[in-house]
Structure 1
C-alpha cells in the first residue's frame, strides 16, 4: 500500500486530499492518506464566525460560480443543495472618489455619464484601441501600474486599477505583475490588440448568453455570481474535513520534510512524531513551506521565502438598520490609495447574503492595511476603530455607534505576485523536478481565490496519481 502525506489543512490541502482519495479509489490504487494540520481545526483562513445572529467571514466570503471546478467539488461532496447565491445587489460595485461614491459603469452609456473619470481621463481611455498604444513587448513582465498607464492613462490607474488590485490582492499595482495577477488581461491584449476591442467582442458574447437565459455578471464586475453557503463559506471546508474523517489529523504542526531511508520521504512534526511517505504534497503558504523544506532543498526554500505576503485587518461592524441612512444597495466600495483613507474598501455583507445579520440590522466588513499600509496590522483596536468609523462617516454618513464589533488580524494574509513571479515559478519547477514525489499546491503560485485553490488541487491530485501509478 502506498502512503501520501498532505501538509496543510486549508481549502487547498482538504480539496487535494479529497480529490486524490477519490481518484485513487477509481483507479484501484490502495492508498493511505494522511493530512497534517497545525491548527486545532482545519480550514486555514476560511472561517465563518457566528455571534449574536451575525455571520462574519474571517477570510474569504465565497467564490464565483463561473468556474466549474469548485461547483463540481461541491456536487461530489454532496453540498450543492446548500449553495447560497448572492442577490442582485452584489452586481453593483462602487468606487469612492472626490468625496462621493460612484457606481462602476456597466456600459458605454453609463461610462460617459459617470463622474468617476474626468473628461480628459475619458478621452485618454478612448485612445486605448488605437494603434498609437504599443503592446507589451514579448517576454516582458510588466507591472500592473506600467500596463495601466500605457494603455489607459494615469487617472484610470488611480481610480480603477489601483482600487481593484487592493480589493483582490491587497496589493500595490506598482509592484504587482500583470501576467501573473491577471493573465486573462494580458491574453486579451495579445489576442485583440487592446482591451476596449476585447470588451466589445466579449459584451456581444454576454448579450447572446443573456438571451439564452444564462446568468452573467455586469460588465463592471467579474464573471459569475458570488456564491457561499447559508452558514458561511466554512461550511465547505467543514464538509470536506468531515468526509475525510480520520485522514485529517489536527494539531500536528510539521517542522520538516526530508528524504527518507525506508521510504522515499519522511515528515517530522513539532511534537516529535515522524511519518514515512511515498509522496508529500505541501499545501501550506509559501513562507511556511519554505521553513518546512529548508533541510530538503535550500534552493526551493529560498524561492518560496522570496514570495512576499500582504497583511490585512478585517473589521466587522453591525448596526441597527434604522440608524444607517445609506441604502447599502450593492456589493460595497473600494477606495483609491490617493484618497488618503485608512480603509481599502467595505463590503456590505448583509446586502449580498440575506442571513448575514439579524432582522433589522446590517453587517459591514471593512478591509484595512494591505501592501501599501503594512503597519496597520499592528495598530491598536481603538485607533483602528476610530479610523474605520471616521471613513464610514465620510463615505456613507454613518455616525451611529456600532452594536457589534469584531476585528480579525492577518499578518500574512495574501501572497503577492510581484514582477518576476513567473520567473520564480519557473525556477521552482526546475528544482522540484529533482525531487520526485514532492508536490507544492495552494494559492501562493497561480491564483489566490478559492476557485484557484480548487483548480490547483485538481492539478496536484492528478500529478500525485501519476506518481502513484
Structure 2
C-alpha cells in the first residue's frame, strides 16, 4: 500500500484527495490517503457564513457551469441535485463610470447604444481588426495588450474593472498569457479579437444547426452556479465523503525532508509522517516554506508569486429603504473613478436564500493589488468608505442593519508578467523531486473550475507515477 499525503484542505486539496482515491482504485493501486489542514476547518477561502437569516460568502460565491470540471465533481459526489443556478438577474452587470451605473453591453447593437464607452472610444475599438498582431513572443501585460488592441478608454472602463473583479489585480502588472490564455490564442490564430469572434460565432451557429453542443464563441460564458446553503456545501460534501480518517484538521506541515525507507518525510509540530507521495495543495507562499529544506531554488520561485489582499464587506438592508432597482449582478468600478471599493455584488438578487424576507444583501470588495493598504483599515474606516461608495453609486443613505467584515491579507495569487517562466522553473525543479507534486490556484487558474481541473491533472500524474514505480 502506498502512502499519499495531501497538504491543504481547500477545494484543491479536497478534490485532489477525492479524485485520487477513486482513480487509484480504478488503476488497481492500494492507497492510504491522508489530507492535512492547518486550520480547524476545511474549505480554505470557501466559507459560507449564515447569520441572522443572511448567507455571506467569505470568499468565492460559485462557479460557471459552462466548463465541465466542477459539474463532473458534483456528479461524482452525488450532489448534482443540490446545485443552485443564479437567476436571470445575474446576466445584467454594470460598470460605474461618469457618475452612473452603465449596463455592460452583451452584444453589438447594445454596445453601440451604450454610453459606457464614448464615440471616440467606440471608433478606436472599431479599428481593432486593423491593428497588427504582436509577434515577438515576449510576455505582455494586460494593460499593454488593452492599449495596443482596444485603446485607452476600453482598457480603463472594460479591462481594468474586469481584472479587479476576477483577480483583484492590476492590469499594469498582470500577464495576458497567464491570466487569459484564450485571448492571447485568439490574437495568435486570427490576428484580431473581432475577427476571431465573428468567425467563431459563425462556427458556433453551424455546429448548433448540426445539433452539436457549443460554448461561448470567445469566452467561458455559462451560468453562475452554487448551492442553496452556499458554495461551502461543496467542500463540506467532499470532507464528509473523504471521512475523518482521511481529513485531519489542526495539523500544520512545517517542513519536508527526504525519507529513509520511503521518499518523503513531512514534519508537523507533533509528529513526523513518512509518505511515498506528497501533494502540496497549499498557497504558493506556504508551499515555499514547506519545500525550502529540500529545494531552496523551488522555494524562491514559489515566493515570487505575489498575492493581493482583499476586504469583503457584507451589508444587509431593509429592502424598502433602498430605492435602487437591484435587478442585476452588481457593478465594478474603474480605478480612475477615485472610489474606495472595487465593486459591489447584489448577492440576494443573484441567488435565493441569501437574505431574510423583505431584506437585501450587498457584498462589497476593497483593496486588491492596486490598494494593498486597505486591508489594514479599521472596521469604522471600512464601513465609512463602503457607505460613501454605496451612496455615490446607488444613492443609498440608509444605515445597514447587518454588517460583516472579512479580511484576506493574502487573498488571490497574481499571475504577473513572468508567471509562465516561473511555472516552467517549477516544472524543472519538481521533475528532480520524484513523488512531490504541486497543485492549487497559484499556478494555472484561480477559479473553482480551474482548481477542479488541476486536481484531475495532478491525480492523473500521481497515478502514472505510482504505476511506473
TM over 0.5, yes or no? yes
Query: What are structure 1's unaligned runs of at least 5 residues?
Result: none
Give the aligned partner of residue 225 of structure 1.
223
Residue 31 of structure 2 is aligned to residue 31 of structure 1: yes
1:234-283, Cα deviation, whole Å (9 max, x unpaired) = 000000000000100000000011111121100011x2211100010000
For residues 307-347 of structure 1, the C-alpha deviation after alignment (integer angstroms, 9 at most, x for no partner) is: 00000000000111111111111111000000000110111
Whether the 8 Å CA contact 2:70–2:449 is kept in 1: the answer is: yes
| Partner residue in 1 for 2:282 | 284
2:101 match: secondary structure: strand
Q: Deviations over 1:115-153 (max 9, x none)?
A: 1111111111010011xx121224210000000000000
**1:356 aligned counterpart, secondary structure:** coil
Would the aligned equivalents of 2:66 and 2:220 in 1 still touch at CA under 8 Å?
no
* Structure 1 residue aligned with 2:319: 321
Structure 2's unaligned 5+ residue stretches are none
| Equivalent residues in 2 for 1:274-313, closer than 5 Å | 274-313=272-311
Q: Which residue of 1 aligns with 2:420?
A: 422
Alignment match, 2:197: 199
Give the C-alpha shift of residue 432 in structure 1: 0.6
The aligned residue for residue 440 of structure 1 is 438
Give the alignment of 1:208-223 within 5 angstroms: 222-223=220-221
C-alpha spacing 1:327/1:9, structure 2 compared with 1 (3 Å): same
Normalised by the length of structure 1, the TM-score is: 0.97
Q: Is this contact kept in 2: 1:35–1:249, CA < 8 A? A: yes
1:293·1:301 contact (CA, 8 Å) conserved in 2? yes
1:359 aligns with 2:357: yes
* Separation in 1, partners of 2:208, 2:168: 32
Q: 8 Å contact 1:91–1:217 — kept in the other structure?
A: no
CA positional deviation for 1:95: 0.3
Which consecutive segments of 4 or more residues in structure 1 shift more than 4 A?
Answer: 205-219
Residue 50 of structure 1 aligns to a residue whose secondary structure is: strand
**How far apart are 1:201 and its partner, in Å?**
2.7
Greater shift after overlay, 30-39 or 209-218?
209-218
Superposition RMSD in Å: 1.6
Is 1:44 aligned with 2:10?
no
CA contact (8 A) 2:200 2:217 kept: no
Which residue, out of 182, 185, 189, partners 1:184?
182
Query: What corresponds to 2:247 in structure 1?
Result: 248
Counterparts of 2:373 and 2:88 in 1: how far apart (Å)? 36
Partner residue, 1:110: 110
Deviation at 1:204, TM superposition (A): 3.8
State how many pairs are aligned: 465
Cα pair distance change 1:362/1:214, threshold 3 Å: farther
Q: Within 5 Å, which residues of 2 pair with 1:70-85? A: 70-85=70-85
Q: 1:371: how far off?
A: 0.2
Using the size of structure 2 for normalisation, the TM-score is: 0.97
Distance 1:205 1:381 in 2: 52
Partner Cα separation in structure 1 for residue 220 and residue 408 of structure 2: 25
How far, CA to CA, are the matches of 1:214 and 1:339 in structure 2?
41
- 2:56 is matched with 56
Match of residue 8 from structure 2: 8
1:278-300 CA distance string (max 9 Å, x none) = 01000000000001110010000
